[in-house]
Amino acid sequence: MTNVKLFAHRGSCTMCPENTMAAFRQALREGADGIELDVRMSRDGYVVVIHDRTVTRTTNGRGTVAGLTLEQLQSLDAGSWYNEACKDEKIPTLEEVLQWIQSTELELNIELKTEDDPYPGIEQAVLDLINEYVLQDRIVLSSFNIETLKRLRELDASVKLAYLISEQTEEAVTKALSLKSDLHCQLSFMKTEEAEKAVQEGIAIRLYTVNEAEELISINLNYIEAVITDALGVLQKAFKVGS
């Protein structure tokens, strides 16, 4: 069990406001193997770390990420919604995160949130940053949007990709093979014929978002490369006991 890597979902999002530097630093302190985060693009073309299409839920502002400049986005309070003590937290840029990641041994899963807004140019912008900081070996790029993954693959033949799937699992393996990508899936996928095909094809599988150790009892963890979780400590303890 100890061979399974644990990725902190949006950083340590139960201890700190999600997708902030505080959450990422906390995940490092807690001993995560990696971090999962989400990226979108500002109106003036900067790649920023935020999950939602709008800033309403996780900041004191309003509007879409695509409709605001980086200066406007970073003027917002991205921490008070979680805890008043976190009021100084800002929406980070992907570049800020990569600069910090360089000083760690963490792996990074960057999810491109392009299902509801295309953010033209985001694929190239993300790849340029990864190449600038020479982090290709520690990063996997994921998306539910297969067109985004296709563009990434066209732009970079060697970048590590992951096709994100939810309920729709038909042809998941065929699509992953065509993209030369891994699969990021929910636990229920592991009970399907597609999962068996993925294992047979040697496709790396990472599960999201698993927060209870008991959820993993019914699957063969030898088939899983990593688990993305909100409950890092819970799974760490379970894996240690089970090793």
Alpha helices by DSSP H, listed for the chain, are 21-29, 70-74, 94-101, 122-132, 146-155, 172-179, 193-201, 232-242
Geometric angle at alpha carbon 11, from 77 and 140, rounded to 5°: 120
Contacts of 169 by beta carbon, 8 Å cutoff, 6+ apart: 185, 189, 192, 194
* Separation of alpha carbons 50 and 211, rounded Å: 21
Is 184 noted as a catalytic residue in this protein? no
* Separation of alpha carbons 131 and 63, rounded Å: 31
Residue type, 242: G
- From 5, 51, 53, 150, the catalytic residue: 51
**Sign of the C-alpha dihedral, residues 49, 212, 235, 204?**
negative
DSSP for 149-185? HHHHHHH-SSSEEEEE-SS--TTHHHHHHHHT-EEEE
Which of 160, 66, 165 is CA-nearest to residue 120? 66
- From 6, 7, 8, 9, the catalytic residue: 9
User: Catalytic residues, which ones?
Assistant: 9, 51
